[in-house]
A and B are shown apart, each in its own frame.
Chain A
Amino acid sequence: MSATSARQPVPGTTIFDGEQARKGYALNKMCYSFNDAANRKAFVADEDGYCAKYGLNAQQRAAIKNRNVLQLIEAGGNAYYLAKFAGIFGLDMQDIGAQQTGLTKDQFKAKLLAARG
């Protein structure tokens, strides 16, 4: 679990605030472009070139290369924009949840079901 602070009081949670919005602007702008199918195709055809065009910094580029959601959040990514990146690979929200919690997808689904109490 990530450390909490006055700005980020909820364990395991990065609230997307002004600091994150500034840090992640280029990354989120690239992910926003994935609303357009032609842009998704262009990313797949030339990932390096596409990331360079949006001016991703080294941390953001590495997180994209690693397809690692926690790293993407650390680099300023916002969940709603990252979902558009995940969509390129056909990943759904349970795949994303499993990756971030270190569970298999079946374990993650079981965790959700357990919330029924």
Chain B
Amino acid sequence: MAKIVGSITTSHVPAIGGAIAKGLQQDPYWKPFFDGFPHVREWLAKVKPDVVVLVYNDHGLNFFLDKMPTFAIGACESYGNADEGWGIPQTAPFQGDSELSWHLIEHLVKEDFDLTTCQEMVVDHAFTLPMALCWPDQKWPVRVVPVVVNTVQAPLPSAARCYKLGQALARAIESWPKDERVVVMGTGGLSHQLDGERAGFINKDFDEKFMASMVDDPAWATKYSTAELVELSGTQGVELLNWMVARGALPEKVRKEHANYHIPISNTATGLMVLEPA
């Protein structure tokens, strides 16, 4: 049976793509962010995943506001990247596993998570950049299943619902009959706000509490409404919903393998965590 070997949760700021393209990993501005990743790569070399299930929000590449699913899942043999309008270089395509995707769909719908299924799908920076941070040569050694959460257009799914989706996702993955190792990733956040007079809002205190809760008190953020999460973490900080799905996919007891936090990259407080089942 398949086994979830751990989770990686990380920020996905588009500017990371520009920094990678320009080779700025050791530049003083970028170094505190990129220095978080060698340890993640060592961990990946140790746990050797076959599959990554990556939970993120699309920023207007695959989905427009004409059709905005609350939860969606890819069921493709391959996922390409494409121009998002500001010219960061595109990554090589990712190999999917439609058989696994349909297994997850069957299981999740049976558990009353009615996801939108996508047999054609392009993945944006929120998917490609975390993958490129984990595998800088961009020769992806894993198959992928993208899971998309609407963090763009309110009403958003609640943190509690996202956490439960993660729990159902774990049951779905663990019932996959192949003997495969799976990493669940969740991308976005942490606190940041791009829009309005409140642009530039960052809340270090909240981020630290949230990251601590990921280890010791995984349902902590579920006590907040999404509007409260916007107030506490910013209009885009609410992308932490993707972290909640990833965290839900791990058991209640976890071991913190690695963490990093840095203010700021672009307008964002960046967070990174690697958790393993305890």
Contacts and interface: CB of A to CB of B under 8 A. Distances in A.
Contact of A12 (B85, B87, B154, B197): B197
Given A13-B230, A16-B154, A112-B264, A79 B84 contact: no
A102 to B, nearest CB: 8
A97 B197 contact: no
Contact of A13 (B61, B153, B202, B235): B235
A93 B16 CA distance: 13
A35 B65 contact: no
B154 A18 contact: yes
Given A2-B196, A87-B86, A112-B200, A97 B269 contact: no
Contacts of B199: 96-97, 100-101
Interface string A45-71: 000000000000000000000000110
Interface string B137-160: 000000000000000111100000
A10 B83 contact: no
Contact of A35 (B61, B152, B267): B61
A79 B269 contact: no
Interface in B1-54: 14-15
Given A10-B230, A83-B85, A100-B199, A93 B194 contact: yes
- Most chain B CB inside 10 Å of its own CB: which residue of A1, A28, A100: A100
- Most chain B CB inside 10 Å of its own CB: which residue of A1, A11, A31, A97: A97
B120 interface: no
A40 B153 CA distance: 24
Nearest to A97: B199
Interface residues of B, number: 39
A87 to B, nearest CB: 3
Contact of B196 (A14, A21, A36): A14
A50 to B, nearest CB: 14
B227 interface: yes
Nearest to B154: A17
- Most chain A CB inside 10 Å of its own CB: which residue of B66, B203, B204, B264: B264
Secondary structure call for the A interface: helix
Contacts of A116: 204, 263
Interface in B153-212: 153-155, 193-200, 202-204
Contacts of B65: 21, 25, 28-29, 32, 78
Nearest to B82: A35
A2 B263 CA distance: 27
Given A79-B236, A115-B204, A84 B85 contact: yes
A115 B154 contact: no
A73 B263 contact: no
B231 interface: yes
Contacts of B235: 13, 15-16, 79
Contacts of A70: 196-197
Given A35-B82, A117-B204, A69 B153 contact: no
B225 to A, nearest CB: 10
Interface in B200-242: 200, 202-204, 227, 230-231, 235-236
16 contacts: A10-B198, A10-B227, A12-B198, A13-B197, A13-B235, A28-B64, A29-B65, A35-B84, A40-B85, A78-B152, A82-B195, A88-B85, A93-B267, A96-B194, A112-B263, A115-B269
Given A11-B198, A40-B85, A79-B235, 19 more contacts: A9-B231, A11-B197, A21-B153, A28-B65, A29-B66, A35-B60, A73-B195, A78-B65, A79-B194, A83-B86, A88-B85, A93-B194, A93-B266, A96-B194, A97-B199, A100-B196, A101-B200, A116-B204, A117-B204
